[in-house]
Chain A
Amino acid sequence: MNTFKFLEILGEIDETYIIDAIKSHEHAKKVHQFKRNFVIVTCFGLLIVFGFIVAGTRTKEYNPDLPILTIADNDADGMGFQGYMAYEIEELVSQNPWNESLQIKTLPVYKNRATFQNGILNGASKDEKEAKLVEIAELFQISKENLVIEESVTEESTLFFEYDNMRVSVGFDMMITLSYNPILTIPDNLNFSFYSTQEELLKVAQYLKKLYPFLFEVKNMTVNITGGDYDFQMNQSFELSFFEKNGSIEEQILDYNFRKIMFIGTEKSGIWMIRFEHTDLSEKIGDYPIKSMKDAKRELSKGKYFTTVPYEMPGLEYVEKVELIYKNLSVEEYLMPYYRFYIELPEEERENGMKCFGIYDVPAIASEYYTIN
């Protein structure tokens, strides 16, 4: 028997051995987090005692009233590593209002009110979701008497109603989804499918503005085409959404990240789904100073980043693109800004020249305002 065969046969042992090991991994993680918390609290206590030393190293604008945030490194059970395949970085597009030349001094941080942590879902109440569905029903002139609101059996904490070929649902994060079955058809000269090009999506966007004038008339809704990466079958895809581009750059950044209307096509051209994202930003923690790009890159080079990519950052020379984004995931305790670095992964380049860009995130708020758990 060779050793490879042994490894194969080891795979056939009873699941109880594997379950025991999984439990030990999860227990070890909890113990580790507890110990780290203890160490962090102790260290913080020492810092207070020797505060006059620490104060001398802080930035001039240090605001002691801003809470120190504890950012969890949410690893296991995530969504898979974030990597984008493209021939060149320029193929990956978005209408992010942020760019490196902007001199942003502070950005707000919010408490995430829609979270899923440790098996517990926190978010909008049933009453809040019902009220939203009633509001939407009124837009479609559906009376309360004819409105039947049900609880979804496949999506947790989601209520919905059905009307003609449309299903309207609201989740724990108050995201509103309209899905159509059969899909809404669009004119034959338009292509709105999984693999529509940017040009095709721009035409669809113009059509949608005419189709849904009440969505676009008051606000300065900007077309936002994102994506441009390839799948393993070498198909390139883009996504179509709109966001409000009004007010200061800070307001535009918040609208881009938290308030979007997304349109989703199908395999065969047509509108399958419309999603209205309007994240709850009612609980603001504060306006935090933003570190410079230079400081962010220094932290990136020192390994102080969050990533799901299984490689260590190969070096600053592989940084291809930077964006400033807010992470809006249910595992995040805070909605806060990050510098998102797109890093070329040289080991993943294919023979046909297709590259892979991994995502590495560095908190954008100044380092003295957070610790990492």
Chain B
Amino acid sequence: MENKMEDSKIINLFWARNQEAITCLSKKYGKYCDTIAFSILHNMQDSQECVNDAYLNTWNSIPPQEPKCLKAYLGKLTRNTSLNYLKNKQTQKRGKGQIDLMLSELEDCIASKNDVESIVEEHELVRVIQLFLDGLSLYKRNIFISRYWFAMSNKEVAKKYQLSENQVSTILFRIRNDLKIFLTKEDFMV
């Protein structure tokens, strides 16, 4: 029988360097991580490898980290690991998974001649993106995050928020347009 544990107890296991922490983590958040990884990679084996790497990264980072929200923290590690894996593999499966669709959607509002190269520029861009998100309603922000952070398909987003796929497409289209204008004003677009 499976047995779920509160996040605080799982974090305590990490701090105590008790390897049961990984077992408890995977029991509670395994499917959540699999879903994020699979949405990006669209390959079960690659997804499982990345999820395992994310667990390892969690083990290596807690302590000293003490996440406020373990689910968000683990989701971030899984997402980053999956994106890195995709980048290093250099064989994005064209026409499969959400990543290609997301990239093509963002092309109109993001692509510019200037590359973000320095860490300072990256931090600045994070700040600017957060400013932009703050300007959105909570509802629209959550839809944007669901699509481009969690890599959920339009269909999944529609199901989550009780909308039609067309409505989701329209909302995201308008947000991307607003994002383009905002980034241009902040000199991140040419």
Q: Which residues from chain A sit less than 8 Å from chain B, CB to CB?
A: 1-15, 17-22, 24-25, 28-29, 31-32, 75-81, 83, 114, 116, 154-156, 171-173, 175, 232, 308-311, 328-331, 345, 347-348, 350, 356
Q: Which residues from chain B sit less than 8 Å from chain A, CB to CB?
A: 1-6, 9, 13, 18, 20, 26-35, 38, 43-45, 48-49, 51, 67-69, 71-73, 75-76, 79-80, 83, 87, 99, 102-103, 106-107, 110-112, 114-116, 122, 125-126, 129-130, 133, 138-139, 141-142, 145-146, 148-150, 159-162, 188
B40 smallest CB distance to A (angstroms):
9
Enumerate 8 A-B pairs (CB-CB under 8 Å) in ascending A order. A3-B107, A3-B111, A6-B106, A22-B69, A24-B138, A232-B49, A348-B43, A356-B45
B56 smallest CB distance to A (angstroms):
13
Beyond A6-B110, A20-B138, 6 extra complex contacts between A and B, CB < 8 Å: A9-B122, A9-B125, A11-B80, A24-B161, A25-B160, A171-B3
> Which among A24, A81, A328, A347 is the interface contact of B34 at CB below 8 angstroms?
A81
**A175 B1 Cβ-Cβ under 8 A:** yes
Find chain B residues with CB under 8 A from A308 CB: 31, 34
Interface of A is mostly: loop
A110 smallest CB distance to B (angstroms):
14
Find chain B residues with CB under 8 A from A79 CB: 2, 26-27, 30-31
B78 smallest CB distance to A (angstroms):
10
A172 nearest CB neighbor, chain B only: B3
Bound together, the chains give a CA A24 to CA B162 distance in angstroms of: 12
Bound together, the chains give a CA A3 to CA B146 distance in angstroms of: 17
**A9 B162 Cβ-Cβ under 8 A:** no
**A18 B149 Cβ-Cβ under 8 A:** yes
B41 smallest CB distance to A (angstroms):
11
Knowing A2-B111, A77-B28 are in contact, say whether A10-B76 is a contact too (CB < 8 A). no
**A13 B30 Cβ-Cβ under 8 A:** no
Find chain A residues with CB under 8 A from B18 CB: 154
**A11 B142 Cβ-Cβ under 8 A:** no
B108 smallest CB distance to A (angstroms):
10
Knowing A7-B102, A15-B72, A79-B30 are in contact, say whether A330-B110 is a contact too (CB < 8 A). no
B46 smallest CB distance to A (angstroms):
10
Knowing A13-B126, A18-B75 are in contact, say whether A75-B31 is a contact too (CB < 8 A). yes
A97 smallest CB distance to B (angstroms):
21
Find chain B residues with CB under 8 A from A154 CB: 9, 13, 18, 20
Find chain A residues with CB under 8 A from B26 CB: 79-80
**A1 B112 Cβ-Cβ under 8 A:** yes
B152 smallest CB distance to A (angstroms):
9
B52 nearest CB neighbor, chain A only: A232
Find chain B residues with CB under 8 A from A309 CB: 44
Knowing A18-B145, A330-B2 are in contact, say whether A9-B68 is a contact too (CB < 8 A). no
**B142 A24 Cβ-Cβ under 8 A:** yes
B153 smallest CB distance to A (angstroms):
11
**B87 A4 Cβ-Cβ under 8 A:** yes
Bound together, the chains give a CA A75 to CA B35 distance in angstroms of: 11
Bound together, the chains give a CA A156 to CA B24 distance in angstroms of: 11
**A7 B148 Cβ-Cβ under 8 A:** yes
A174 smallest CB distance to B (angstroms):
10
Bound together, the chains give a CA A347 to CA B160 distance in angstroms of: 27
Bound together, the chains give a CA A168 to CA B99 distance in angstroms of: 49
**B130 A13 Cβ-Cβ under 8 A:** yes
**A114 B1 Cβ-Cβ under 8 A:** yes
> Which among B4, B69, B126, B159 is the interface contact of A116 at CB below 8 angstroms?
B4
Bound together, the chains give a CA A116 to CA B48 distance in angstroms of: 26
Bound together, the chains give a CA A1 to CA B122 distance in angstroms of: 10
**A21 B2 Cβ-Cβ under 8 A:** no
A350 nearest CB neighbor, chain B only: B45
Bound together, the chains give a CA A118 to CA B162 distance in angstroms of: 22
**B162 A13 Cβ-Cβ under 8 A:** no
Bound together, the chains give a CA A298 to CA B165 distance in angstroms of: 29
Bound together, the chains give a CA A234 to CA B64 distance in angstroms of: 34
Bound together, the chains give a CA A170 to CA B97 distance in angstroms of: 44
Identify which of A20, A154, A311 gathers the most chain B CB atoms within 10 Å of its CB. A154
B107 smallest CB distance to A (angstroms):
6
Knowing A6-B106, A154-B9, A348-B45 are in contact, say whether A17-B141 is a contact too (CB < 8 A). yes
Find chain A residues with CB under 8 A from B75 CB: 18, 22
Bound together, the chains give a CA A258 to CA B81 distance in angstroms of: 39
**B3 A155 Cβ-Cβ under 8 A:** yes
**B103 A328 Cβ-Cβ under 8 A:** no
**B30 A21 Cβ-Cβ under 8 A:** no
Knowing A3-B110, A7-B148, A11-B76 are in contact, say whether A17-B83 is a contact too (CB < 8 A). no
